[in-house]
């Protein structure tokens, strides 16, 4: 099971590797993060991202649709896993999807072409240096981005500048601390904790999902409403057992094995026992729970 990690190009790079989560974006936060690992262009990584997007798409996106003619800025589109869903669900809206990685943008373009999308423009851009005029978008969409940033409120404030007055923002983030399962396993929690620790040490926050509400409020959005999107998996839901527990979450933890061990966070035997226990939850009597959080807010019309 550890073999998969070494096939990931990030295996020797902690700063990048801990960002192997769900979707993958990387920002040069005004130079504060010097490592810029690009996800998504490796075939196996692509496959895993695709698995996840297919499994979670309804849970995360079913209530997001943009009116015809409206303009939507997607920041941190990565390889376009969410972009295709977004653009297909709002075929008459016009999307501008940016990512800091040229390779990811290239792959996202290929993916959009394969899907036959004509309403998306891709651009390479840093969230802290967006090449757009202020108030030039009706909506902003941010998915699995804030978890990687050391200054998430600053990032939200910047994308808020891009919004027209009365525009909306949609933010989706996971939360590794929301993960629990049956049979319970201290070893599995220890393996997950490695990911949380590594992401924290890289300047990110793997527990950011629960924090969406205060972050969005602090960034100045109005009418903020956050709702949890819990993935509940038992053996009566075999597509989730395979697509989420096994191929998304456990695969993600497996992917940090070498980095976690190299960082001295855990012994190989302990890590492997934890991963084994995560796989144990996919058996007939197993249960797995993980929660994403989705927040929406408005850029209020300020008094003149």
Contacts with its own copies by CB under 8 A lie at: 175, 177-178, 180-182, 184, 207, 210-211, 213-214, 217-218, 224-228, 230, 232, 234-236, 284-287, 289, 291
Q: Smallest distance, Å, CB 96 to its own copies?
A: 30
Task: Decide whether 83 or 281 has the Cβ nearer to its own copies.
Answer: 281
* Cα 267–Cα 147–Cα 196 angle in degrees, nearest 5: 15
Instruction: Say if strands 137-143 and 163-173 run parallel, antiparallel, or are unpaired.
Output: parallel
Task: Decide whether 104 or 245 has the Cβ nearer to its own copies.
Answer: 245
Task: Decide whether 230 or 262 has the Cβ nearer to its own copies.
Answer: 230
Q: Smallest distance, Å, CB 62 to its own copies?
A: 16
Task: Decide whether 134 or 230 has the Cβ nearer to its own copies.
Answer: 230
Task: Decide whether 137 or 293 has the Cβ nearer to its own copies.
Answer: 293
Q: Smallest distance, Å, CB 178 to its own copies?
A: 6
Q: Smallest distance, Å, CB 31 to its own copies?
A: 29
Instruction: Please give the Cα distance from 24 to 10 (Å, whole number).
Output: 12
Task: Decide whether 243 or 255 has the Cβ nearer to its own copies.
Answer: 243
Residue 161, both tokens: 């500048």
Q: Smallest distance, Å, CB 288 to its own copies?
A: 9
CA distances 211 to 74, 102, 195, 293, Å, are 21, 30, 18, 9
Residue 32, both tokens: 């504060």
Instruction: Please give the Cα distance from 268 to 250 (Å, whole number).
Output: 16
Q: Smallest distance, Å, CB 210 to its own copies?
A: 5
Nearest Cα neighbor of 227 from 169, 180, 139, 291 is 291
Nearest Cα neighbor of 251 from 55, 62, 109, 107 is 55
CB contact at 8 A, 70 and 168: no
């Amino acid at each position: 099971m550890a073999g998969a990690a070494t096939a990931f190009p990030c295996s020797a790079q902690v700063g990048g590797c801990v960002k192997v989560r769900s979707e993958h974006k990387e920002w040069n936060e005004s130079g504060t993060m010097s490592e810029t690992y690009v996800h998504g262009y490796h075939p196996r990584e692509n496959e895993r991202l695709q698995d996840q997007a297919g499994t979670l798409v309804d849970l995360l996106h079913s209530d997001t649709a943009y009116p015809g003619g409206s303009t939507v800025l997607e920041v941190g589109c990565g390889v376009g896993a969410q972009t295709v869903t977004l653009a297909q669900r709002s075929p008459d809206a016009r999307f501008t999807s940016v990512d800091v990685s040229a390779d990811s943008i290239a792959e996202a373009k290929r993916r959009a072409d394969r899907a036959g999308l004509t309403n998306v423009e891709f651009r390479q851009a840093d969230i802290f240096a967006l090449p757009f005029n202020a108030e030039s978008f009706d909506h902003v969409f941010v998915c699995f981005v804030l978890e990687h940033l050391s200054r998430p409120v600053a990032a939200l404030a910047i994308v808020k500048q891009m919004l027209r007055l009365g525009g909306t923002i949609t933010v989706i983030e996971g939360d590794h601390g929301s993960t629990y399962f049956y049979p319970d396993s201290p070893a599995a929690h220890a393996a997950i904790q490695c990911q949380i620790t590594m992401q924290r040490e890289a300047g990110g926050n793997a527990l950011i999902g629960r924090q969406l509400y205060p972050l969005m409020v602090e960034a100045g959005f109005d009418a903020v409403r956050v709702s949890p999107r819990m993935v509940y998996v038992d053996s009566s839901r075999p597509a989730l057992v395979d697509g989420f527990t096994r191929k998304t979450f456990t695969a993600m933890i497996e992917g940090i094995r070498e980095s976690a061990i190299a960082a001295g966070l855990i012994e190989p035997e302990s890590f492997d026992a934890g991963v084994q226990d995560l796989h144990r939850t996919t058996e007939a009597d197993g249960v797995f729970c993980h929660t994403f959080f989705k927040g929406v807010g408005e850029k209020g019309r300020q008094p003149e």
